[in-house]
Amino acid sequence: MQLIQLNQLHIDLGAKMVDFAGYSMPVQYSSIIEEHHAVRNSVGMFDVSHMGEFIIRGNEALKLVQKISSNDASRIKINQAQYSCMPNESGGIIDDMIIYRLPEENCNEGEQAFMLVVNASNIEKDWKWIESHNDFDTRMINISDNSSLLAVQGPNAIKTLQKLTKVNLNEIEYYHFRKGEIAGINNVIISATGYTGSGGFELYVDNQDVKKLWDAVMEAGAEFDIKPCGLGCRDTLRLEMGYCLYGNDIDDSTSPLEAGLGWITKLNVEDDFISKDLFVKQKEEGLIRKLVGFNMNSSRVPRKDYPIFDLKGNEIGKVTSGTQSPSLDIPIGMGYVNIECAKPGTEVQIGFRKKMIEAQIVKVPFVQINK
């Protein structure tokens, strides 16, 4: 099991540590509910340094990124980011990722540079996949082991971080970023992305500087009662927003169109990407199943792989994610169901061993956030 740079700090803070994707990670410090509400109502900080980061740089960097990405990377401007996924050759998803178009001050003439941020459980798989398709004049650099990532999330994230930098954070639009000094640390990537729906920033920094950055952010956020937050509330926060989790809601067997990710699957781009023809065919023929959200009509919490039935007892799908929503105080979940049962308002049943409990298909996100 690998240790992230701040492993001992999290232990000293009383975090419950778990093995997640081969890394020792904090799942909670105080309680999942307390940390969840801190992010929704004020500010919390996550250490998500287990994520992977690849640099793609060269004269044909864009060609490589376009080949392995379902989205249109040619539209990404410098200092902009884009959500995308890597399809496999059978129309499934190898991973979802964020693509950053980096400034070109370290590039030779004619070169472009991108950073791909991938899931921790897929770092080796993703690297080998991209490498196997790199037939271009392009270099790949894996900086995952040398990089740390802190996510400062919540409505008071901007007030917390603005104390530490001269970069005008209000000018960084959603899915944009800047490289700048923060807490006296140079060349930090300050990215207005996130996985909580409550706004905030993700900070990419060298391992050697992450302790200094963590301490500075905690001190700056003290007046807002900032909380260290673990993976437990990260999951409840993302599920309330209907965000997909790789390994649950999307994987090697799920199509991005089925997962509601048609908006990152650009079938009209001139460049061909892996499985583009399969997605075109799938769109023309129509989907057989679809990822949906649902609310439970009881206090029972649905779990991954629980079967979903229609009211006649016919199995129509399977749960992919489920939790007790701290914001709504009801159990919620997501899962794939037959397309004819995917309409919001449809009544279904979730199988809890031998018992059937009613639920209702609903639109996601489950909660509306006023940012």
CA distance 359 to 338: 15
| Whole-number pLDDT of residue 20 | 94
Per the listing, tokens 């679809």 go with 290
CB-based contact 240:115 (threshold 8 Å):
no
CA distance 28 to 16: 6
Pull the structure tokens for residue 27. 């799942």
Strands 44-47 and 227-229 come out as parallel
| Whole-number pLDDT of residue 371 | 55
Angle, vertex CA 262, rays to CA 261 and CA 264, nearest 5: 75
| Whole-number pLDDT of residue 269 | 83
Architecture of the structural domain at 52-144:
2-Layer Sandwich (3.30)
Fold of domain 262-362: Elongation Factor Tu (Ef-tu); domain 3 (2.40.30)
CB-based contact 202:193 (threshold 8 Å):
yes
| Whole-number pLDDT of residue 306 | 98
- How confident is the chain (371 residues) per 10-residue block, as mean pLDDT? 96 97 97 98 98 97 98 97 98 98 85 97 98 97 98 98 98 97 98 96 98 98 98 98 98 98 93 95 97 96 97 97 98 98 98 94 92 55
The residues near 243 (Cβ < 8 Å, ≥ 6 apart) are: 195, 197
Cα 96 to its chain centre, rounded Å, is 8
Full 3-state SS string of the chain: CEECCCHHHHHHCCCEEEEECCEEEEEECCCHHHHHHHHHHCCEEEECCCCEEEEEEECCHHHHHHHHCCCCHHHCCCCEEEEEEEECCCCCEEEEEEEEECCCCCCCCCCEEEEEEECHHHHHHHHHHHHHCCCCCEEEEECHHHEEEEEEECCCHHHHHHCCCCCCHHHCCCCEEEEEEECCEEEEEEECCCCCCCCEEEEEEEHHHHHHHHHHHHHHCHHHCCEEECHHHHHHHHHHCCCCCECCCECCCCCCCCCCCHHHCCCCCCCCCCCHHHHHHHHHHCCCEEEEEEEECCCCCCCCCCEEECCCCCEEEEEEEEEEECCCCEEEEEEEEEHHHCCCCCEEEEEECCEEEEEEEECCCCCCCCC
CA distance 78 to 61: 14
CA distance 37 to 287: 37
| Whole-number pLDDT of residue 72 | 97
Q: Return the domain boundaries, the chain.
A: 2-50+146-240, 52-144, 262-362
CA distance 72 to 76: 8
In terms of CATH, what superfamily is 2-50+146-240?
Answer: Probable tRNA modification gtpase trme; domain 1 (3.30.1360.120)
